[in-house]
Structure 1
């Protein structure tokens, strides 16, 4: 799963969740936007916040709410639970389970 921050309609950056059925990976991909623009869009979308230019914390409930209705894999819920359990085992999940630390990657030119 990828949370993308890309230039959308009217050249205004927007957040979208893509590759929803691929729960073997999760990261934040930035298109041709600045870190400040991406941070603002991510927060306005309610999907999370930047911690620095390489790391963000995604809101687990908001991410699931954005992804689950569009999931097509029959075992999506089970795989989601496994992804969250894996993140917890790696120390990527906040103590209360509400935030998930992810790597920020540039998607510019992709």
Structure 2
């Protein structure tokens, strides 16, 4: 699953959740936006924020809400829970389990 922040110099950045059925990976992909624009767009969308240039913090409940309506597999909810559990086992969840740390990539490479 990929959370994309895309936009251009003359347009307001937008956030979209794509590849929602691919729960083997979770990443934040930034297009032609500054870190400040990406952070603002993520916060305004209610999906999270940037921790730094290499790491995003995504709200687990908001991510589920944004992605689940697009999911096609009957077992998607269980697979999503498994993805979050794996992130916890890797030390990528906050202590309260509400936020997951994800790598930031270029949207061009997504």
TM-score of the aligned structures, taking structure 1 as reference length? 0.93
Q: Which runs of 5+ in 2 are unaligned?
A: none
**What is the CA deviation profile of residues 59-103 of structure 1, one whole-angstrom value per residue up to 9, with x for unaligned ones?**
000000001111111210111111011001000011111000000
Q: Please give the alpha-carbon distance, in whole angstroms, between the structure 1 residues aligned to 2:57 and 2:30.
A: 14
1:105 aligns with 2:72: no
Q: Report how many residues are paired.
A: 109
* RMSD between superposed Cα atoms in Å: 1.5
- Counterpart for residue 73 of structure 2: 73
**What is the CA deviation profile of residues 19-38 of structure 1, one whole-angstrom value per residue up to 9, with x for unaligned ones?**
00000000000011111110
Q: Which runs of 5+ in 1 are unaligned?
A: none
TM-score of the aligned structures, taking structure 2 as reference length? 0.93
